[in-house]
């Protein structure tokens, strides 16, 4: 079964949680990792007790006077088993650099949280045929964790744009990443109920990371039934 990661980003409210619970209550959701904003973890768990939860981010600090941070140990304490690390929105808007990301990956490992590490080229890099080079460089910090990290290939230009690479491009990139030793590779960027069926036919792909559609009840329903 392919893995589905639902990244709500800074979206969602009680109504969304109730609607999502309406779709998933009592169903087998063992292949879905729900990543709501962390303040909603317990509410989502209350509505869908068997849901597997992931964090959208984790602190690069282990503990201490860092107002507003949520640490890997705290996530582990409340049974969060996954965390997205290095999403392009964090790299771009919060200026997260490789050294920070490496520390986050180390803390995830220390506290038993499976990191979903995002990589991908921007449009200029794609146009210059630099996709593999960019990804290889981004993956340098992930090397020590090659055995248990999950890689999400997310071209920056595809996120939220309605655009996706061609199927063979996703396949080639996925194979490139697997060739570097990574076992689990997801695709993310404008996945929707129409392209989902095609994307998951890619044999070497282990699943998808969804943003926009993960908070769209109709789309989510269609994808879950697909
Ligand atoms: P999108 O977002 O599905 O809305 O393009 C994907 C992501 O940011 O991970």
18-34 tens-digit pLDDT = 999 999 888 899 999 99
Kindly report the protein residue whose alpha carbon is nearest to atom 9 of ligand 1. 211
pLDDT in tens, 126-175: 999 999 999 999 999 999 999 889 999 999 999 999 999 999 999 999 99
- Number of residues in the chain: 226
Are 103 and 69 within 8 A, CB to CB? no
What is the CA angle 2-170-200, rounded to 5?
25
38-73: per-residue pLDDT in tens? 999 999 999 999 999 999 999 999 999 999 999 999
Please give the pLDDT value at position 155: 98
- Does position 207 have pLDDT exceeding 90, yes or no? yes
Question: Is any atom of ligand 1 closer than 6 Å to the C-beta of 192?
Answer: no
Confidence (pTM): 0.97
**Spatial separation of the C-alpha atoms in residues 93 and 82, rounded to whole Å:** 22
pLDDT the model gives residue 225: 79
The helix/strand/coil state of 36 is coil
Q: Around 138, how many Cα atoms within 13 Å sit in the side-chain half-sphere?
A: 24
Helix or strand (DSSP H, E) at 65: none
DSSP 147-212: TT-EEEE--GGGTTTS----HHHHHHHHHHHHHTT-SEEEEESS--TTTHHHHTT-TT--EEEESG
Q: Which residues have CB under 8 Å from 15's CB, separation 6+?
A: none
Q: Which of 89, 121, 154, 219 is catalytic?
A: 154
Residue whose Cα lies nearest atom 1 of ligand 1: it is 211
């Amino acid at each position: 079964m392919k893995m589905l990661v639902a990244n709500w980003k800074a979206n969602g409210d009680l109504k969304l949680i109730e609607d999502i619970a309406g779709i998933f209550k009592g169903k087998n959701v063992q292949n879905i990792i729900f990543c709501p904003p962390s303040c909603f973890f317990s509410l989502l768990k209350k509505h869908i007790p068997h849901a597997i939860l992931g964090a959208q981010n984790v602190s690069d600090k282990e503990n201490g006077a860092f107002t507003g941070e949520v640490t890997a140990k705290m996530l582990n304490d409340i049974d969060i088993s996954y965390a997205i690390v290095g999403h392009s929105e964090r790299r771009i808007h919060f200026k997260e650099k490789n050294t920070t990301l490496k520390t986050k990956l180390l803390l995830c490992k220390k506290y038993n949280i499976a990191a979903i590490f995002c990589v991908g080229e921007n449009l200029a890099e794609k146009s210059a045929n630099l996709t593999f080079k960019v990804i290889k460089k981004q993956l340098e910090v992930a090397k020590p964790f090659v055995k248990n990290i999950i890689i999400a290939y997310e071209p920056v230009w595809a996120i939220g744009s309605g655009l996706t690479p061609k199927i063979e491009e996703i396949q080639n990139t996925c194979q490139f990443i697997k060739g570097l030793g990574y076992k689990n590779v997801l695709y993310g960027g404008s996945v929707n109920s129409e392209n989902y069926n095609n994307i998951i036919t890619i044999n070497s792909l282990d699943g998808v990371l969804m943003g926009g559609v993960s908070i769209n009840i109709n789309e989510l329903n269609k994808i879950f039934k697909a």
